[in-house]
Amino acid sequence: MQSHNRTPNSLRLYKEAQKVLPGGTTRFTVATDPAPIYIAAGHGAWLTDVDGNRYLDLGNNYTALIHGHGFQPVVDAVAEAIRHGSCFANPTEHEIRLAGMLCERVPGLDKLRFVNTGTEATMFAVKAARAYTGRTKVAKFEGAYHGGYDYVETSEHSAPGTWGPLSDPARVPYAAGTPDAVLADNVILPFNDIDNTLACLERAKSEIACLLVDVMPSRAGLIGLEPDYVATIQRFCNDNGILILCDEVLNFRQGYHGAAAEFGLRPDLITIGKIIGGGLPIGLVGGSDAVMQVFSGKGRRAVVPQGGTFAANPISLVAGIAAMTAWDPPAVARLNAMGERVRNGLRRVIADAGAPMSVTGGASLFRLHMRASPPRTYREFYPSAEEQAVGKLVHQALLGRGILMPPTSSSCLSTPMTDADLDFVLDAVDATLRSVEYRAAIGSAGVAAAPAQGA
Ligand SMILES: Cc1ncc(COP(=O)(O)O)c(C=O)c1O
């Protein structure tokens, strides 16, 4: 468990925070047991907390920091730009430069608009799809997260008691008070299940504006879409006038050309965020020239008016240009090879320890599951109460060994990481799996463990 003795300053700050922030935090995704770890500084792949503890950062602000913390080209670009003003209503040349870099890299990204977050990006993309098709329904995967916009939240946390049959997954509201009208405009799909997905799409096909796709939805288990599933949804959407909206806010890091290109998907609309801002707030909605015309007013009000006070602010843009310049094909190849190494290493460590644990992910992403075989669907992935308890123990044990993994254990690498950092992760997981606490936890969870080898 996270030791109270190691983090007294975090505990003190958390007490203070609860007086002014509901729940004591600004983000529900921050672990609060017993207190969030308050960060003092980040350098490269490592974080230092307010108590002086150091952690290898496997979260990187939920995958946003492809170059880790304090990446010098970003620091220099931001320092230079901010001397000349932090934001203007009028455009700057930087937006043309970053847009140009990304349009050149990403197939299907003919034109784009910058926004501030991934949430805004998916919201505007849904509006674009509706305006373009004249339809209102949004199809999305059960369990997939796309930000805090009502129409993309439905069923992102479907649970066994309420999720309904696979042939017609329930539209489960995420936030209390979600209007029924929102739910009525969603179609929920079980990804990697071709027959049931086709049945769900078939029932509503003439009303669906877009199919929102994340090729490896992190919250739904970091499970990649299977090739025949991708081909099937592509064909169905093309045949039925449904736009494919590929949400690459998180998964743009899958490859130099982005996620859709890696998975053989040809989207009409694409949203990207996180790494393209070099650690500063950003998002984009882009796509085919034809669809993106909905944002083009040409002197009149566009059919989808889009703007934002801080959209395309020069500081995020110059940081993004610096980060994307360094995210070149050799950097992508190196980090993805490191991802392969850590996933394979974890599988070996798990097998050697005889632990009921498995690994999913791809490129520079990986996730641990507290079950012996890797899940291939959201419902397979959905952790039981026992698995959640074991997951929490592993998270805390790794924290105690100097590794900050997100509470979900969906993890990512950053370019300043070295092979020694990966060995540090593998050694820490190995020690955790052989610990008395872990063996006791899997025993009481009723999960059979194979005898450890070479213990
Ligand atoms: C796939 C996906 N879409 C959208 C979002 C929302 O992005 P933001 O947090 O920048 O609003 C996220 C954030 O994690 C995401 O992973």
Average pLDDT over residues 23-42: 91
254 lines ligand 1 (CB under 6 A): no
Q: What is the DSSP letter of 69?
A: B
User: pLDDT at position 1, please?
Assistant: 47
User: pLDDT at position 455, please?
Assistant: 39
- End-to-end distance of the chain based on CA atoms, in angstroms? 23
Average pLDDT over residues 153-160: 97
The average confidence (pLDDT) of the chain is: 95
On whether both 294 and 380 belong to a single domain, the answer is no
**pLDDT tens string 238-256:** 999 999 999 999 999 999 9
Pocket test for ligand 1, best of 27, 60, 145, 282 (most atoms within 8 A of CB): 145
**pLDDT tens string 287-300:** 999 999 999 987 78
Helix (H, G, I), strand (E, B) or coil at 73: helix
For residues 308 and 115, is the Cβ–Cβ distance under 8 A? yes
Quote the ligand 1 centre to 59 CA distance (angstroms). 14
Helix (H, G, I), strand (E, B) or coil at 40: strand
User: pLDDT at position 449, please?
Assistant: 54
For residues 140 and 186, is the Cβ–Cβ distance under 8 A? yes
On whether both 291 and 396 belong to a single domain, the answer is no
On whether both 283 and 355 belong to a single domain, the answer is no
**pLDDT tens string 390-407:** 999 999 999 999 999 998
* pLDDT reading at 78 higher than 50: yes
- Write down which residue in 302, 326, 350 finishes a domain: 326
* pLDDT reading at 222 higher than 80: yes
Closest-CA residue, ligand 1 atom 4, reads 146
On whether both 127 and 154 belong to a single domain, the answer is yes
Q: Could you tell me the CATH number of the domain that includes residue 382?
A: 3.90.1150.10
On whether both 282 and 359 belong to a single domain, the answer is no
For residues 185 and 374, is the Cβ–Cβ distance under 8 A? no
**What crossing angle do the helices spanning 329-353 and 419-433 adopt, rounded to 10°?**
20
- Distances from the Cα of 361 to the Cα of 141, 271, 347, 365, angstroms: 17, 20, 12, 5
On whether both 343 and 369 belong to a single domain, the answer is yes
**pLDDT tens string 128-138:** 999 999 999 99
Q: What is the DSSP letter of 255?
A: S
Q: With respect to residue 228, please indicate whether it lies within any of the assigned structural domains.
A: yes
Quote the ligand 1 centre to 201 CA distance (angstroms). 25
- Write down which residue in 291, 326, 361 finishes a domain: 326
Closest-CA residue, ligand 1 atom 2, reads 146
Alpha-carbon distance 107 to 126, whole Å?
20
Tokens linked to 285: 């909605």
Q: With respect to residue 54, please indicate whether it lies within any of the assigned structural domains.
A: yes
Preceding omega of 356 cis (within 30 degrees of 0)? no
Neighbour count for residue 448 (Cβ, 10 Å): 9
User: pLDDT at position 450, please?
Assistant: 53
User: Which residues, at least 6 apart from 443, have a Cβ–Cβ distance to it below 8 Å?
Assistant: 449
Pocket test for ligand 1, best of 214, 249, 252, 280 (most atoms within 8 A of CB): 249
On whether both 268 and 411 belong to a single domain, the answer is no
pTM here is: 0.96
410 lines ligand 1 (CB under 6 A): no
Number of domains in the chain: 2
CA of 118, closest atom in ligand 1: 7
Quote the ligand 1 centre to 215 CA distance (angstroms). 14
- Write down which residue in 301, 326, 351 finishes a domain: 326
* pLDDT reading at 339 higher than 50: yes
**pLDDT tens string 354-386:** 999 999 999 999 999 999 999 999 999 999 999
Reported confidence tier of residue 5, pLDDT bands at 50, 70, 90: confident
Q: What is the DSSP letter of 242?
A: P
Pocket test for ligand 1, best of 274, 316, 367 (most atoms within 8 A of CB): 274
Quote the ligand 1 centre to 251 CA distance (angstroms). 10
Closest-CA residue, ligand 1 atom 7, reads 118
User: pLDDT at position 446, please?
Assistant: 60
For residues 143 and 193, is the Cβ–Cβ distance under 8 A? no
Q: Which domain holds residue 405?
A: 8-66+328-444
For residues 87 and 310, is the Cβ–Cβ distance under 8 A? yes
For residues 275 and 66, is the Cβ–Cβ distance under 8 A? yes
* pLDDT reading at 444 higher than 90: no
Q: With respect to residue 451, please indicate whether it lies within any of the assigned structural domains.
A: no
**Residues 416, 419, 424, 426, CA torsion sign:** positive
252 lines ligand 1 (CB under 6 A): no
68 lines ligand 1 (CB under 6 A): no
Q: With respect to residue 2, please indicate whether it lies within any of the assigned structural domains.
A: no
* pLDDT reading at 54 higher than 80: yes
Pocket test for ligand 1, best of 146, 280, 316, 412 (most atoms within 8 A of CB): 146
On whether both 190 and 283 belong to a single domain, the answer is yes
Q: With respect to residue 242, please indicate whether it lies within any of the assigned structural domains.
A: yes
On whether both 438 and 296 belong to a single domain, the answer is no
On whether both 289 and 345 belong to a single domain, the answer is no
User: pLDDT at position 406, please?
Assistant: 94
> Which percentage of the chain shows pLDDT scores above 90?
93
Q: With respect to residue 453, please indicate whether it lies within any of the assigned structural domains.
A: no
Residue 26 phi, psi (nearest 5): -105, -15
Q: Which of 286, 247, 314, 240 has its CA nearest to residue 89?
A: 314
What single string gives the DSSP state of each residue in 316-380? HHHHHHHHHHHS-HHHHHHHHHHHHHHHHHHHHHHHHHT-S-EEEEETTEEEEESSSS--SSHHH
* pLDDT reading at 63 higher than 80: yes
Alpha-carbon distance 118 to 59, whole Å?
17
62 lines ligand 1 (CB under 6 A): yes
* pLDDT reading at 453 higher than 70: no
Q: Could you tell me the CATH number of the domain that includes residue 112?
A: 3.40.640.10
Reported confidence tier of residue 28, pLDDT bands at 50, 70, 90: confident
Quote the ligand 1 centre to 46 CA distance (angstroms). 23
CA of 144, closest atom in ligand 1: 1
253 lines ligand 1 (CB under 6 A): no
On whether both 349 and 300 belong to a single domain, the answer is no
Q: With respect to residue 234, please indicate whether it lies within any of the assigned structural domains.
A: yes
Reported confidence tier of residue 454, pLDDT bands at 50, 70, 90: very low
119 lines ligand 1 (CB under 6 A): yes
* pLDDT reading at 165 higher than 50: yes
Q: Which of 203, 191, 212 has its CA nearest to residue 140?
A: 212
Quote the ligand 1 centre to 145 CA distance (angstroms). 7
Q: With respect to residue 295, please indicate whether it lies within any of the assigned structural domains.
A: yes
Length of the chain: 455
On whether both 114 and 44 belong to a single domain, the answer is no
Helix (H, G, I), strand (E, B) or coil at 190: coil
